[in-house]
Structure 1
């Protein structure tokens, strides 16, 4: 063994975290609109942009110096629907996990295992009676609204587990729960597209668009 570490700070309840951020913003004067949808955003003129917001009670027109597009993997779709030019394309990367019984793996703490054949690792994180094992990284074409876990994802995760633990049958991951999610990243090199669960990356880019003033909509 070359080394090890123990961590306690990487667990969060994403739903509660989102509510905490909204509550903190409201305390500082932000107006929070539930079930609202931004329909259009104007070009940058006279020091700001105008946004049309659709709510349950009708429509609102807002004027702001800065508009933040925090729609994640749907950022490109939002720009298109809002009528805004988007020179930087996003490539929604997929991460897949297997959910296995903790008794099957036997770990009391989170473990990171190297994946044979590449430079990535998969994590085995215990949560009560279950362990979440993953994640993969791939740029395979798929529906952003419904990311799925394919057989290549399952094989990738099981290969890392069996290399170190040797306890799981080839069908173990297929009998249990699977989950997948998308994350927005910069487009991958052409050679990495469609190559499978271990060939993605998490590149990011920062730019300032120059549409009508060059301000009011920085991109990350």
Structure 2
């Protein structure tokens, strides 16, 4: 068997692995990114989908982490404005939980720990006069408004993997590392894909970005773990839209935790998250009845219209692999990260912890550390680089309007959906099409063959769930048989 040679093999197709592969490929290194399932299938598609500094982390004196995350917000918003955009948050004031002066102090720090160009600062608000007060219980009179950002988290991972591939990396999904053997000049790595095919590759350096499986991968590589992750389950519920305005809410709760209520996919409201210690298989994580009841109860403390479990139309859960700082409770475990470089032989860099907002900085630091061990390459570059489809202004409304003008035959809302999914890459689906029939068969409502071919050929989609729940959230709207119809089409397309 011929053994392919790489400078770096990155294990783990979540946000950190995809980000590291992208950064290294852009510096000129030969990179293989392998993921045992689909891109972002686990933790990285299960976040609250925020690009945020972490306002609540100020209470735990995590000033360095908050500042780093705040600095990254606008870098990310500029890099992919089609899948990330500014969002204003309203915090109703509950004087029984935190005094107003403490919140004002926190907001002041949040506004000034990092420079802002896009996001407006915080201010107090009368909930009796502001539109955001309408859905709330009448005893909430005042509140605070501040800025953060929204992200389609799984699409962010896909865009990083696409960018890595376009810069020369090899991306293999549904491909597991079954053995990693340290040798004198590097790593010998055995791979096995979901069809049972095996291959062997060689790498000068190995990156362990396996998220919840970071410890078990160290066992595979027979390397001693110098840090540990603490697995914390975070669950979310989705209900039909609770209000019509564009603001999100951050709610303080009697247990000192916070939850968010966020406009989601136009017709829904996303509520989350929980923090529950987790000891099971990260691949089988799911919300339980207690978590659903908790999120409903906490939201109902604030909304006039009570939220009950029967309102829930979808749930998702993920396991956060947090850096174990021996905190007494799951909510206070640090969201910072640590990169551990083992050089007892060929280099192995392991990623412990992290959050989606700081992924680019984490990847840059990882690439910097590996660069000193590899042949000379180009320097850091991602701070000013657009992700695929992201070469647009921060406000993409004019682009959406242009699509509607250029393709007036698109069904209502489709131009906006394509723009918010693919950005400027929408042209790769639409260019040269003169009417709806040019998009091919409508395989399921609203999804035509031209878009599906793009998802398979450019975005690594292999199964219906990849398309319905990670490349998009169309699963919220489509009929129950959509997945089987999509899988049948995908099987025929791949076999053609």
Closer/same/farther in 2, CA of residues 34 and 99 from structure 1, 3 Å limit? closer
SS in structure 2 of the partner of residue 217 of structure 1: strand
Say which structure is richer in helix: 2
Q: For the Cα contact (< 8 Å) 1:51–1:62, is it kept in 2?
A: yes
Report the counterpart of residue 218 of structure 2 in structure 1. 79
The alpha-carbon deviation at position 132 of structure 1 amounts to 0.8
Report the counterpart of residue 455 of structure 2 in structure 1. none
Q: For the Cα contact (< 8 Å) 1:49–1:216, is it kept in 2?
A: no
Closer/same/farther in 2, CA of residues 162 and 188 from structure 1, 3 Å limit? farther
1:64 aligns with 2:196: no
Q: Which runs of 5 or more residues in structure 2 are unaligned?
A: 1-141, 353-496
Number of aligned pairs?
208
| Deviation sequence 1:175-194 (CA, Å, 0-9, x none) | 5233211121123536326x
Report the counterpart of residue 173 of structure 1 in structure 2. 309
1:10 aligns with 2:150: yes
The alpha-carbon deviation at position 39 of structure 1 amounts to 1.3
Report the counterpart of residue 185 of structure 1 in structure 2. 322
2:156 and 2:346 mapped to 1: Cα distance? 32
Report the counterpart of residue 75 of structure 2 in structure 1. none
Q: For the Cα contact (< 8 Å) 1:93–1:200, is it kept in 2?
A: no
Q: Give the structure-2-normalised TM-score.
A: 0.38
Structural mapping, 1:114-153, within 5 Å:
114-127=251-264, 128-153=266-291
Closer/same/farther in 2, CA of residues 132 and 44 from structure 1, 3 Å limit? farther
Report the counterpart of residue 349 of structure 2 in structure 1. 217
The alpha-carbon deviation at position 96 of structure 1 amounts to 1.0
The alpha-carbon deviation at position 129 of structure 1 amounts to 1.7
1:45 and 1:204 mapped to 2: Cα distance? 33
The alpha-carbon deviation at position 35 of structure 1 amounts to 2.9
Report the counterpart of residue 161 of structure 2 in structure 1. 22
- Among residues 78, 85, 99, which one is paired with 2:238 in the alignment? 99
Q: Give the structure-1-normalised TM-score.
A: 0.78
| Deviation sequence 1:33-72 (CA, Å, 0-9, x none) | 24322111123644x3222222458433322232112222
Q: For the Cα contact (< 8 Å) 2:327–2:333, is it kept in 1?
A: no
Structure 1 stretches of 4+ moved >6 Å: none
Report the counterpart of residue 14 of structure 2 in structure 1. none
SS in structure 1 of the partner of residue 215 of structure 2: helix
SS in structure 1 of the partner of residue 338 of structure 2: coil
Q: For the Cα contact (< 8 Å) 2:232–2:321, is it kept in 1?
A: yes
| Deviation sequence 1:81-140 (CA, Å, 0-9, x none) | 4444323222221111111111xx224224233332244321111222211101112214
Q: Which runs of 5 or more residues in structure 1 are unaligned?
A: 194-198
What RMSD in Å do the two structures reach over aligned CA positions? 2.8
- Among residues 191, 199, 210, which one is paired with 1:53 in the alignment? 191
Q: For the Cα contact (< 8 Å) 2:206–2:347, is it kept in 1?
A: no
The alpha-carbon deviation at position 23 of structure 1 amounts to 2.2
1:116 and 1:157 mapped to 2: Cα distance? 10
SS in structure 1 of the partner of residue 340 of structure 2: coil
